[in-house]
Structure 1
Amino acid sequence: MKKFLPLFAFLLVSGWSTAHAVDWNWKGDVRYRYESKIKTDADNSRDRHRLRVRLGVYPWITEELSAGVQLSTAGSGDPVSRNQTLGDGFTAKDINLNEAFIDYHPMFLDGDVDFILGKRAVKSTLIRVNDLVWDSDLTLEGVTAQFGKNGSKQASGVNAVAGYYFIDELSKSEEDPFFWAAQLAYTGQAGDLGFMLGAGYYDYVNIVDMPDSVLGDWSDGEGFWGNSHNGVYDYDYNILELFANVGGKFDGGLPWKVYGQYAMNVADGVDDDDKGYLVGVKIGNAKKVGQWALDANYSYLEKDAVIGAYTDSDRWGGGTDGQGFEVAGSYHLVQNMTLGLKYLGHEIGIDSDKSLHVLQADMVVKF
């Protein structure tokens, strides 16, 4: 934590001294979670109390230039969790750099195209409907070009994203693992209904025939997160994703949305266990005090449909090879604070007799 204090002190001083030139946007949130997990083959449940903290600044520097820096709890050392489990004798908890990026949107392109360099949240980097392919806590590192996308939202009309992302740098090899991404979508309106539909393609390079450590030091010895392997990755991963959502409002003004994703690994040699899908519905919106929201979805993900390390970390314990449903509700209790409750019931392994049941109770404060 100490090593980041000078950085934040500098940002504060810079913000005060150049307030006339820079629009500083501070954002943060603290989430307290109680989580209970039980497997069918376990004698008792695992109960944990966990924290997630994020604090960032996102300055709008000029009409052509913005940036972002965010610190967060370190989680368990993997890329898809920022939760810090309480315990370990009251020791201090780690804080790490979660985002650091530059966003250049030149006016000779009318500011419609963003060139982003650095580390940024996946929902602000790529077009993301839900977590079948990408966990919500993932922050990608690389270079991105965007058209018709503003943060986590898409503008009306055509939306396009292209990016190149570095997975790891290998000092003893020239075959560094990386992937490139291309997405094309359309966001529009049909009468009272709003919709978005699109497709994405994610091509991983230098993954096949590599050990689990190819994804970074954090993954060394952690296994392959459901993907097929024989001590090394059996297959290449070239993932085609189709995604869509449609929504509107009931007569009383209550919003609703139906959403879906389909993913398939189209790499050569992958003939089986290469597909996955997620379908869900959301009713309500808990943005203001007194408002509520309900969300339910069903997911099915075969072993080699996606890279298991980067999909949602809560379903069937994380990774691929599972199916099941989740139901969540949230309520905006007081200004800036929401309460949430989620239940996840999934099979660990498709057509398996093993299952995992998870209950999560959250309190989230945003500032």
Structure 2
Amino acid sequence: MLVVVTKFLRKHLPILIAGLVAVGSSGALARETQRLALPVGNGADMLVAANTAPVGSPGKKEAPTPAPTSAAAPSSTPAPSQAATAATPAPADDHSALLFDTAQPLALNPPGTDPEPAPEPIASPRSGPATPTQNVTINLINRLVQKGVLTHAEAQELIAQAEADVEVAKAKEAEQDAMAVDGDTVRVTYVPENVKVEIREQLKDMVLSQARDEGWAAPRTMPDWASRFRFFGDVRLRYEGVFFPDGNDNTGSFPNFNAINTGSPFDVAGTVFSPQHNVDQERQRLRLRARLGVDVNLEEGFSGGIRIATGENNSPASTNQTLGGSGGNFSKYSIWLDRGFMKYEYGGGHDWGVAFLFGRFDNPFFTTSQILWDEDVGFDGVAAQLRVPLNESLSVFVNGGAFPIFNTDFNFSSNQPAKFESEDKWLYAAQVGIEFKHDKDFAAKVAAAYYDFNSVEGRLSTPYIPLTSSDASDADNSRPSFAQKGNTYRPIRDIIPSPLNDFGTSKQFQYFGLATPFKVAAYSARLDFNHFEPFQVSLLGEYAKNMDFDGESINEVAVNNRGPVPVDDSGIPTGVGDFEGGDTAWNVGLIVGKAVFQEAGDWNLSVGYRYVESDAVVDAFTDSDFAVGGTNVKGYTLGAALALSSRVSVSVRWMGATQIAGPPLKSDVVLFDLSAKF
């Protein structure tokens, strides 16, 4: 039976001891094991030979084994009656015969713990049972050695295996605890200070990089998508005084053709005057201009923009709104779509590039005055711009485009079942120029342009008899849809005399069109001298000529811009006056001071002279301020401006004008502006 038990224990004892050690690693048993542990050899094994006699023969009766006293493993077995006695130490050279040192029982010493004081030595087999300890594992090994089940070497091996199993069990337990942490438990892993600093720097760099990309790092900045929008605007309050000296002809010599052509046709056989321009009564008024716009970067070279503006009417040459106008009584004012466009730009570096514009946009052509284009005119259509540098000082630019001036109403004529053919009007234009910069002290820019105003002239209709003012002719769309004053006009309805109109003495409902085609060649130049910085001296010049002007043909049909009526010796009129209009316009100017205001105290002074004959340019698009707008004028302009801040300025201008052809007409216009931009 003992042989069977011995074989069983030799096979399963390591597992049993490992289990006991694992159980003992927690609670009171673990603490007791650590308290009794003693380092032996390399610190892992704790086996010391005991002063014991050889184990007796199988038939010899062994002393009873005392029960363990550990609180972690209580036993119901009564304690032995035999008292333990001190063992007599064996001779020093008799270690080969010793199996176990009962004076120093075997102990497990977990790594990293200090040994506890050894317990009292236990008796050898010759003197009695071993002294019990509070460690179940140690007591068990002591008994097995005493009974001869284990040898000294096997005991050492078991201790080493048990210590290794304890470490494995502790590692697994720590891993399981980390995976299943109680909801109220927070486990904190120790992180070295240098690692903390590195982590903080990495997080800081990551957050700042994201903030810069998304635009929320700095206060009052916008996210990336909003940064593509650029809002801008301006407000101008103007005092305008128009003064007429004595001597102007106020007998009905200045028909308001715009009022006629934008309303019902005028009965030239009637007994009332046609609408007339004011030429003798002074007018003073406050006028407001307010504009608000946004430019949008659409990326990949694309951009767009929209601008709205005030305006008393749909005039292309003015965005002024008279305060107290539009019915008065603090009535609200109209807002117009002033700009709306898309743009594509491509540049190859070195300042060369090409741009395409679509929609309604600013004037794409280089000009130095307003004799051809008022600064408020917006162009509808498509335009292209090209700039090519030839060297560091010289570059060439080319501008061109096609622009619809008038498009026939889809239902024209609205009160007739059979509609009339379309009569659309276009502007085709091209410009080429050079820009020269010698150094910072001198710059020059000159250009030549050709403007083909297609089908803007009036034409005579098919003969017909209008019975009412609503009876349209097939030439009605040849009249201009907007005009200022100055151009020469002609009748466009060919009304047949008949009994229905008293043979031409009644029902002569008439519209008027331009008496000449317009093919305008224009030359513009600007010279800037910056030798006197911070002040700049600029010389400006512009010349325009209508290449399709034919005075003789106009003389046959013109109803205005004629000279004095010839009379005979008795003072009776013998005909109509000769046509006195012309085809040429030019302007010269000088500006001294800051070209662009940048801070309070910046100023400039200007002086100019212009000469614009009646049919040199289309009067609808020329300067709307000089002589209250239009052509057939000459005169001077004096101006001064002062910056109150980088964005607020005041200016004053005086313009004295005299009519060139036709009856005498003079005017003085004074403008005082308070302007702000943002």
Does the TM-score normalized on the shorter chain lie above 0.5? Answer: yes
Distance (Å, rounded) in 2 between the aligned partners of 1:108 and 1:293 = 37
Q: 1:34 aligns with which of 239, 243, 248?
A: 239
Alignment of 1:185-334 (within 5 A): 185-191=433-439, 192-210=441-459, 214=478, 217=481, 219=482, 225-231=485-491, 232-267=513-548, 269-270=550-551, 273-285=582-594, 286-334=597-645
SS of 1:316 mapped into structure 2: helix
Distance (Å, rounded) in 1 between the aligned partners of 2:291 and 2:342 = 19
Please state how far the C-alpha of 1:107 moved relative to its aligned partner.
Answer: 5.8
Q: Is the 8 A contact 1:37 1:46 kept in 2?
A: yes
Aligned to 1:47: 284
Alignment of 1:57-206 (within 5 A): 57-87=294-324, 88-106=328-346, 112-122=353-363, 125-148=364-387, 157-171=395-409, 172=412, 173-191=421-439, 192-206=441-455
Distance (Å, rounded) in 1 between the aligned partners of 2:630 and 2:619 = 4
Alignment of 1:328-343 (within 5 A): 328-343=639-654
Distance (Å, rounded) in 2 between the aligned partners of 1:243 and 1:251 = 24
Please state how far the C-alpha of 1:325 moved relative to its aligned partner.
Answer: 0.8
Q: Which has the higher contact order (CA 8 A, sep 6+)?
A: 1
CA RMSD of aligned residues (A): 2.5
Please state how far the C-alpha of 1:363 moved relative to its aligned partner.
Answer: 0.3
Q: Is the 8 A contact 1:22 1:62 kept in 2?
A: no
Distance (Å, rounded) in 2 between the aligned partners of 1:195 and 1:98 = 31
Give the partner amino acid of 2:449: G
Aligned to 1:13: none
- CA deviation profile, 1:35-83 (whole Å, cap 9, x unmatched): 1101124665210000000000011221410111000002332110100
Distance (Å, rounded) in 2 between the aligned partners of 1:37 and 1:212 = 34
Distance (Å, rounded) in 2 between the aligned partners of 1:142 and 1:215 = 21
Distance (Å, rounded) in 2 between the aligned partners of 1:111 and 1:212 = 46
Relative to structure 1, is the Cα distance of residues 273 and 291 closer, same or farther in structure 2, using a 3 angstrom cutoff? Answer: same
Distance (Å, rounded) in 1 between the aligned partners of 2:280 and 2:584 = 33
Please state how far the C-alpha of 1:250 moved relative to its aligned partner.
Answer: 4.2
Q: Among the aligned pairs, what percent are the same residue?
A: 28
| Greater strand share, structure number | 1
Higher mean alpha-carbon deviation, 206-215 vs 339-348, is at 206-215
Distance (Å, rounded) in 2 between the aligned partners of 1:253 and 1:239 = 38
Please state how far the C-alpha of 1:147 moved relative to its aligned partner.
Answer: 1.2
Please state how far the C-alpha of 1:106 moved relative to its aligned partner.
Answer: 3.9
Aligned length: 341
Aligned to 1:5: none
- CA deviation profile, 1:286-310 (whole Å, cap 9, x unmatched): 3321100111110000111000111
Q: Which runs of 5+ in 1 are unaligned?
A: 1-15, 150-154
Q: Is the 8 A contact 2:549 2:615 kept in 1?
A: no
Relative to structure 1, is the Cα distance of residues 143 and 252 closer, same or farther in structure 2, using a 3 angstrom cutoff? Answer: closer
Distance (Å, rounded) in 2 between the aligned partners of 1:355 and 1:316 = 8
Which structure's CA Rg is the greater one? 2
SS of 1:105 mapped into structure 2: strand
SS of 1:59 mapped into structure 2: strand
SS of 2:423 mapped into structure 1: coil
Distance (Å, rounded) in 1 between the aligned partners of 2:236 and 2:346 = 36
Please state how far the C-alpha of 1:358 moved relative to its aligned partner.
Answer: 0.6
Q: Is the 8 A contact 2:457 2:479 kept in 1?
A: no
Please state how far the C-alpha of 1:133 moved relative to its aligned partner.
Answer: 0.3
Aligned to 1:12: none
- CA deviation profile, 1:85-115 (whole Å, cap 9, x unmatched): 0001100111110000000124689981111
Give the partner amino acid of 1:69: I
Relative to structure 1, is the Cα distance of residues 63 and 18 closer, same or farther in structure 2, using a 3 angstrom cutoff? Answer: farther
Relative to structure 1, is the Cα distance of residues 156 and 205 closer, same or farther in structure 2, using a 3 angstrom cutoff? Answer: same
